[in-house]
Amino acid sequence: MTRLSSLMSASSILAGKKRTLPSPVVVYTSSSSFVVPENVKIINYLILAGGGGASSGGGGAGGFRQGSGFPVTPLATYTVAVGGGGSTASQGSNSGLFIASSGLGSIWSTGGGRGGINSLTLTAGGNGGSGGGGALSGFDGSSNKPGGSGNAGGYNPSEGNNGGFGNQYPAQGGGGSGGGGGAGGTGQDAIAGGTPTSGGGNGGLGVFSSFSGSNTGYAGGGGGGYGSPATVNGLGGGGNPVYGGANAGLSGAATKGGGGGGDFGSPPYTSGASGGSGIVMIQFT
């Protein structure tokens, strides 16, 4: 846990009137707890879950939620859960906070969906805060594989977006997997094989927030992988690092909740990079 000094808790005199400045933003990069001050009944918050781990498809970004006016209980102890990024082909963990003694008074965001796996049953991307990208298919002889659905928590505003479609591995080679969804946009569908530009779809865009005091990007989707032993190899999908999303084969950035990048190695394309961890920020009002 760290405290940001850019927002100071103080009182000031302005034009002869007393004005209370906002309290500091408290940032949690690992699970912890806090006690609500006696005179505080609401908080502002930013809650970002861990990004999904990739396989063939890119991992989806962790669910992103930011808001104000969330009611809390004075003097109660709250547990803060900071979600870790998913390992290969695993969903990211949820982030949230709740009253430690009862589990009540909670608010959560959902871990990012796993990337689709090249198998007979798990080729579609996993659902999550943002959905994972669909796998490069062909092992089961079927066509394009869908990305997972975003906003698994059913929140309004939405916490994320869907992953992109993977396409079927073609005879001419070079097919790709879908990009994972991001908080700011859906993952890109893979580009059909057989051309120099074929390959994995880019991860979905994330979002910017200045909640911490500086404008920072969060929750970008991971890029989809591509098939390598082919006449035309194709390209791995990109995940915009500004938002913590990873390019194919790379891990999502820590504390940014980005999706992991899809595998672009040799068959059976079952590896993939991990998602980035989440973060929780609160401000007493």
The whole-number pLDDT of residue 7 equals 34
DSSP state of 253: P
Please count the structural domains in the chain: 1
Judge whether 164 and 134 are in contact, CB under 8 Å: yes
Percent of the chain with pLDDT over 70: 78
Q: Please indicate whether residue 220 or residue 250 has the higher confidence score (pLDDT).
A: 220
Judge whether 132 and 160 are in contact, CB under 8 Å: no
pLDDT band at 198 (very low <50, low <70, confident <90, very high): low
Mean pLDDT on 99-126: 90
Q: Which domain holds residue 182?
A: 1-285
**Tokens read off for 180:** 């994972």
The whole-number pLDDT of residue 193 equals 60
Using only the alpha carbons of the chain, give its radius of gyration.
20
Lowest-pLDDT choice from 4-8, 186-190, 218-222: 4-8
Q: What is the C-alpha to C-alpha distance for residues 57 and 149, in angstroms, rounded to an integer?
A: 13
pLDDT band at 154 (very low <50, low <70, confident <90, very high): very high
